Amino acid sequence: MTNQEIIQPENLVYQKPRLLNNNPMHYCPGCSHSVVHKLIAEVIDEMGLEERTIGISPVGCAVFAYNYIDIDWIEAAHGRAPAIACATKRLWPDNLVFTYQGDGDLACIGTGETIHALNRGDNVVIIFVNNAIYGMTGGQMAPTTLMGMKTSTCPYGRQSDLHGFPLKLTEIAATLEGTCYVTRQAVSRVAYIRRTKAALRKAFEYSMQGRGSSLVEIVSTCSSGWKMSPEEANQWMEDRMFAYYKLGDLKDIAAK
């Protein structure tokens, strides 16, 4: 059989999501961001929301998310995406509105905006890519950097007396009355990717049903910032990150 004979619609098992455009992605090989982008593009398409979705991109490696997913986008100042999402959703309530943020953006400079958007129960979805480091600026310590983990601004490892402790913003979010769905997922294995996709779909559905705010954390790798190969990074994440950032749902109103 020739390749041409094999490439037939009935043999199709996998394809690039329709809403991912052809712009070359700037992400490092193996970066979790690109997998998360793919899932978002798929879910928006499957829910038929392409024409009425507004994404808010962060300052961080995902700042250019707007170059890859073919929906309307607003690029936010560092940490402010949830405030922008609040206004956007209230002024265009029929649209799906989500933010896409890194750990520095969401859990450090934008902690206030994040907690208050979630607490107001704004019907928005916050997608939180936690790679425990500042990827974009070259690997500095993040609020989520693990104890002992080395970064360019804690070169001897994070220590509590100097740097405090890794922040679990997702746990905080689960305590807020305004949230309807809070979950922590990963994208390092096919099974995890499937679960993350289901989580995104649930969060988007809840927000379109007006049930409140959702936070979907995705524990991620940053092989460049961590100075590891993508494979080592995945292993390190599963060994070290999952022990501190436990995967699973922290809150789901439907489960009550």
Partner 1 sequence: MEEKREILLMKGNEAIAHAAIRCGCDGYFGYPITPQSEILETLAAEKPWETTGMVVVQAESELASINMVYGGGACGKRVMTSSSSPGVALMQEGITYMAGAEIPGLIVNVQRGGPGLGTIQPSQGDYFQATRGGGNGDYNVIVLAPASVQEMADFVDLSFELAFRYRTPVIMLSDGVIGQMMEKLVLPPFKSRRTDDEVRQQCPWATTGKRGRKNNIITSLELDPSVMETHNIHLQEKYETIRQHEVRYEEYMTDDADMLIMAFGSASRIGQKAIELCRQRGMRVGMLRPITLWPFPSQEVASLSQRMRFIMSLEINAGQMVDDIRLAVNGTCPVHHYGRMGGIVPTPEEIVSEIERLIN
Ligand X SMILES: Cc1ncc(C[n+]2csc(CCOP(=O)(O)OP(=O)(O)O)c2C)c(N)n1
Interaction between residue 26 and ligand X (CB under 6 A)? no
Query: Please, what is the minimum distance in Å from the beta carbon of residue 59 to partner 1?
Result: 8
First to last CA, the chain: 54
Query: Which of 163, 159, 140 lies closest to 224, judged by CA?
Result: 140
Site for ligand X in 126-165 (CB under 6 A): 129, 131, 133-137, 142
Which position among 55, 60, 82, 212 is part of the footprint of ligand X (CB under 6 A)? 60
Residue 59's binding partner among ligand X, ligand SF4, Mg ion, none (Cβ under 5 to 8 angstroms by kind) is ligand X
Q: Rule CB under 8 A: is residue 95 a binding residue for partner 1?
A: yes
Question: 224 is in the binding site of which of Mg ion, ligand SF4, ligand X, none (Cβ under 5 to 8 A by kind)?
Answer: ligand SF4
Instruction: Give the separation between CA 118 and CA 107, rounded to whole angstroms.
Output: 13
Please report where in the chains the tokens 């959703």 appear, as a residue. 89
Residue among 204 and 245 whose Cβ is closer to ligand SF4: 245
41 binds, among ligand SF4, Mg ion, partner 1, none (CB under 5 to 8 A by kind): none
Out of 16, 18, 23, 90, the residue judged to bind partner 1 by CB under 8 A: 90
Nearer to ligand X, 181 or 226 (CB): 226
Closer of 122 and 252 to partner 1 (Cβ) = 122
Where is 219: in which H helix or E strand? strand 213-219
- 23-30 contact pairs (CB < 8 A, 24+): 23/67, 23/68, 25/68, 26/64, 27/61, 28/222, 28/223, 28/224, 29/223, 29/230, 30/221, 30/223, 30/229, 30/230, 30/231, 30/233, 30/234
Say whether residue 145 binds Mg ion (CB under 5 A): no
142 binds, among partner 1, ligand X, ligand SF4, none (CB under 5 to 8 A by kind): ligand X
CA separation for the pair 82, 126 (Å, rounded): 7
d(CA 108, CA 253): 27
Nearer to partner 1, 39 or 115 (CB): 115
Report the interface residues with ligand SF4, using CB under 6 A. Answer: 27-28, 31, 33, 61, 131, 135-136, 222-225
Coil, strand or helix at 79: coil
Location of structure tokens 């509590």? 160
Residue numbers of the site for ligand X (CB under 6 A)? 59-62, 78, 102-105, 129, 131, 133-137, 142, 222
